[in-house]
């Protein structure tokens, strides 16, 4: 029959057809639990590694949650990033509870989840860090009391072990050069890597889309001027430019170094996304649906955002996934050279640097952070490759 689909798969909705193609790629399918576990590790960091009891009961005070104040107001050099992850954990928990309560009422579930997420911002905004000198691990409790500690009852900045200690029962992955628990720092280092990877790539995506979409759709002298600027920026070695910018910010004594790393990586990572968005826009703007929108008198802004952007979203999503892996590697490289996230913040690249003087004697400082980097980069790269094959049937 004329016009009939060539295969049964082509008759499926685009989303279901893409999911079927994605599932056929075993490496891509394996990347989903890898990425999910990494995100879960970062979100659950305060519950996995914490020097304060998650639950404490005494006859005098009753049932308390000593870790909760530090959860809302973390004692961290990267205060804002820690709060973002902790808020995301509470917001996701609220969304899960709303799903259970309003199973068959999707709209009410969304509204309740949004309201709960906004209300949960209040304790993060109102709480302030406070220094606690109580060592809960050795604290003697009165009769009839009990406490529940995290699996790793340490903080990422506590110097409790022997410097360079190899893995033991007390410290499963050993200690770093200052005696801090390596497993604890690796868990909190996942937050740093994901924050840089996701936020830096998102900012680069926004900049690249603004530049690429407008240049590809508007064309003429605007496209010529913008793309010549992009080509000039492409002439600079990206990693060298990252080092120069980070050195300048370090001389200025900027705090919250992770925010500087995110901004610098985003400022140098938008060029490829802009070229991709421009190429896709040039191809799509000659399509019949864009010509029809122009004939109807729609504004350029409306055509780019409502009609053009959704049709290039697949290619942009693939670029975003690969960009996260690249940003994680860039942050680790900068931290390894001493220009990235600054001590005492936990960073996988910084841990690798601490083993540079004696890589064989401090083998655990090389192996475990290196494996985490491999896990993160391989997971996002396999995911991006799977999306590329799924969203482009010709691939």
Q: What is the pLDDT of residues 258-274, one digit of tens each?
A: 888 888 888 888 888 88
Residue 301: pLDDT above 80? yes
How far apart CA 336 and CA 338 sit, in angstroms, is: 5
Mean pLDDT: which of 124-128, 241-245, 250-254, 292-296 is highest?
124-128
How far apart CA 316 and CA 391 sit, in angstroms, is: 11
pLDDT, mean of residues 124-146: 81
- What order do you get walking across the sheet with 55-58 strand by strand? 62-64, 55-58, 146-148
pLDDT tens-digit map of 13-71: 666 777 788 888 888 888 899 999 999 999 999 999 999 999 988 888 888 888 998 89
The answer to whether 381 and 325 are in contact (CB under 8 A) is yes
Local structure of residue 9 (DSSP, 8 states): G
pLDDT tens-digit map of 320-350: 999 999 999 988 988 888 887 888 888 899 8
pLDDT of 341 reads 82
Cα dihedral across residues 257, 259, 263, 265: positive or negative: positive
pLDDT of 374 reads 94
For 183-391, give the CATH class. mainly alpha
pLDDT of 395 reads 54
pLDDT, mean of residues 126-142: 79
Give the residue carrying structure tokens 């900068």.
334
pLDDT tens-digit map of 145-182: 888 999 999 989 888 888 888 898 889 999 988 889 99
Nearest to 382 by CA among 32, 41, 17, 15: 32
3-class SS string, 310-363: HHCHHHHHHHHHHHHHHHHHHHHHHHHHCCCCCCCCCCHHHHHHHCCCCCCCCH
pLDDT of 1 reads 45
Residue 244: pLDDT above 90? no
pLDDT tens-digit map of 97-107: 988 888 878 88
Kind of pairing, strands 55-58 and 146-148?
antiparallel
pLDDT of 380 reads 93
Q: Where are the domains of the chain?
A: 52-165, 183-391
pLDDT of 164 reads 86
pLDDT of 267 reads 84
Residue 125: pLDDT above 70? yes
């Amino acid at each position: 029959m004329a016009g009939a689909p060539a295969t049964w798969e082509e008759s499926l909705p685009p989303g279901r057809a893409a999911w079927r193609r994605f599932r056929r790629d075993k490496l891509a399918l394996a990347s989903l639990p890898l990425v999910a576990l990494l995100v879960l590790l970062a979100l659950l960091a305060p519950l996995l590694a914490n020097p304060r009891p998650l639950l404490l009961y005494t006859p005098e005070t009753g049932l308390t949650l000593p870790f909760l104040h530090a959860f809302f107001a973390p004692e961290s050099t990267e205060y804002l990033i820690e709060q973002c992850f902790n808020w995301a954990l509470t917001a996701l928990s609220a969304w899960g509870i709303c799903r259970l309560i309003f199973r068959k009422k999707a709209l009410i579930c969304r509204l309740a989840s949004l309201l709960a997420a906004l209300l949960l911002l209040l304790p993060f905004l109102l709480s302030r860090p406070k220094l606690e000198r109580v060592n809960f691990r050795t604290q003697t409790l009165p009769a009839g009391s009990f406490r529940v500690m995290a699996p790793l009852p340490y903080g990422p900045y506590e110097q409790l072990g022997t410097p360079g200690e190899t893995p033991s029962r007390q410290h499963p992955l050993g200690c770093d050069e200052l005696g801090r628990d390596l497993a604890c720092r690796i868990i909190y280092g996942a937050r740093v890597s994901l924050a840089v990877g996701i936020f830096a790539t998102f900012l680069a995506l926004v900049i690249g889309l603004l530049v690429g979409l407008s240049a590809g759709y508007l064309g003429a002298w605007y496209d010529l001027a913008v793309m010549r600027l992009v080509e000039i920026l492409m002439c600079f070695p990206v990693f060298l430019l990252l080092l120069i910018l980070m050195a300048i910010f370090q001389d200025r004594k900027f705090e919250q170094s992770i925010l500087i790393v995110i901004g610098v990586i985003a400022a140098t990572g938008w060029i490829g996304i802009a070229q991709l968005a421009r190429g896709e826009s040039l191809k799509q703007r000659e399509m019949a649906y864009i010509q029809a929108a122009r004939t109807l008198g729609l504004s350029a802004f409306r055509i780019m955002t409502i009609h053009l952007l959704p049709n290039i979203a697949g290619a942009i999503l693939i670029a975003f996934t690969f960009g996260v892996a690249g940003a994680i590697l860039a942050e680790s490289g900068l931290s390894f050279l001493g220009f990235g996230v600054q001590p005492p913040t936990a960073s996988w690249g910084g841990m690798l640097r601490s083993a540079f003087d004696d890589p064989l004697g401090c083998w655990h400082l090389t192996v475990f952070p290196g494996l985490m980097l491999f896990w993160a980069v391989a997971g996002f790269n396999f995911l991006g490759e799977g999306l590329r094959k799924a969203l482009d049937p010709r691939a």
